[in-house]
Amino acid sequence: MSKKQIATAAAPAALGPYSQGIVTGGFFFASGQVPIDPATGELAGQTVEAQARQVFANLGQVLAAAGCGFADVLKTTVFLTDLANFAEVNSIYAEYFVEPFPARSCVQIAALPKGSLLEVELIAKIPE
């Protein structure tokens, strides 16, 4: 199996030994994106709205680097530090996806890097 690393300076650099994304077998696997502004390396605001918008901006950049867009996404996983933020994140999520919506999981976790309120990872099909 061959795999190609996807990396773009338009999204935050990996915070550890992992890739922003990997392409293999016609699919793109994006690592989770947290709301780090790639220009500053800092969190993009303290509210879940500001952070969610940055997460999706970051995901858009790694998708583009892989030759994909949000319409190509098949599966997402949303990690929240507080499920009380679900409705607000869901509303912003709906701005990026259209029917048929990707499959999705959403879980509450104890903590995320840099004190982020959410993280989102995804899998997309590379357009032919």
Tell me: the pLDDT tens digits for 19-64?
999 999 999 999 999 999 999 999 999 999 999 999 999 999 999 9
Which pTM value belongs to this model?
0.96
Q: How many domains does the chain have?
A: 1
At residue 4, the pLDDT reads 97
| CATH value at residue 115 | 3.30.1330.40
At residue 53, the pLDDT reads 98
Q: Residue 14 has what DSSP assignment?
A: P
- The yes-or-no verdict on residue 128 having pLDDT over 90 is no
For residue 43, the cross-strand partners are 36
- CA pair distance 20, 87, nearest whole angstrom: 27
- The yes-or-no verdict on residue 1 having pLDDT over 90 is no
At residue 14, the pLDDT reads 85
93-117 pLDDT tens trace: 999 999 999 999 999 999 999 999 9
Residues spanned by the domain of 73? 4-125
Residue 64 near residue 42 (C-beta atoms within 8 A): no
Distances in whole angstroms, Cα of residue 115 to Cα of each of 21, 93, 124: 22, 20, 27
| Sequence letter at residue 20 | Q
Query: Which two tokens mark 117?
Result: 């309120």
Pick from 103, 106, 58: nearest CA to 82: 106
Active site residues: 106
Q: Residue 43 has what DSSP assignment?
A: B
